[in-house]
Structure 1
Amino acid sequence: GLRTSEIHAKRPDWQLFRDGCPNGESPQQIGARADCVVNRVRAIKGNVLIFSSGHFLRVLAARWLGLEPGAGKFFMLSTASLSALTYEHELSHPAIQFWNTTRHVSD
């Protein structure tokens, strides 16, 4: 793949969460994958642990809340951070319990 700087050299207005990766998935395709995960998690109705890449998790959080895949740009994630998606009282009210917590990582 290309580095961000290489993509910007060719396309100065490029934005990952709007345009996707060149020769890769579009934000809509990533959103569809995230929707599959959301549906599987909601069907379990219990605690689920998910490990994934940061960009996918950002889209997953957006889709969890019913936002467009591009809204993932608002959910910053640090390396080795922890986040918890939850519900407020019932399955029809998705929420974020905590996001991008790194307290468990020592310097």
Structure 2
Amino acid sequence: DGVPEGESVGEVSARADEVVGWARSADRDVLVFAHGHILRALAARWLGEDLSFGARIRLEPTSLSVLGWAYGAPALERWNDTGHLELPSPSGV
């Protein structure tokens, strides 16, 4: 489907696969900043799922997520963490 005159689902999947391949080939941690739609696509492809899997993953604006490994397989180490957005309560309130 995709967006009229935008990338097709196949093109988004190929772009996500390129980033996942780059990240996996690095001999170090990598950091990726992006918007929600492509981040969900990256997570889906990181896990070896079809792009449509990303539509079922909730992701809040400005959240932090960490893709990594568990028992030798791609995993979500942290997902949709918004703890950094919580402000301390003013004292006495």
TM over 0.5: yes
Match of 2:75 among 95, 101, 107: 95
TM-score scaled by length of structure 2: 0.87
TM-score scaled by length of structure 1: 0.76
3-state SS of the aligned residue for 2:10? helix
Provide the identity percentage. Answer: 45
Unpaired runs of 5+ residues, structure 2, are 88-93
Structure 1 ranges of 4+ moved more than 3 A: none
How far off its partner does 1:66 sit?
Answer: 0.6
Query: Is 2:17 the counterpart of 1:29?
Result: no
Q: Which residue of 1 aligns with 2:85?
A: 105
Matched residue type, 1:102:
T
Unpaired runs of 5+ residues, structure 1, are 1-18
- Please identify which structure carries the higher strand content: 2
**Alignment deviations for residues 19-62 of structure 1 (CA, whole Å, 9 cap, x no partner):** 21111111111010000000100110321110001100000000
Q: Tell me the matched-pair count.
A: 87
Match of 2:43 among 42, 61, 77: 61
Distance 1:45 1:89 in 2: 18
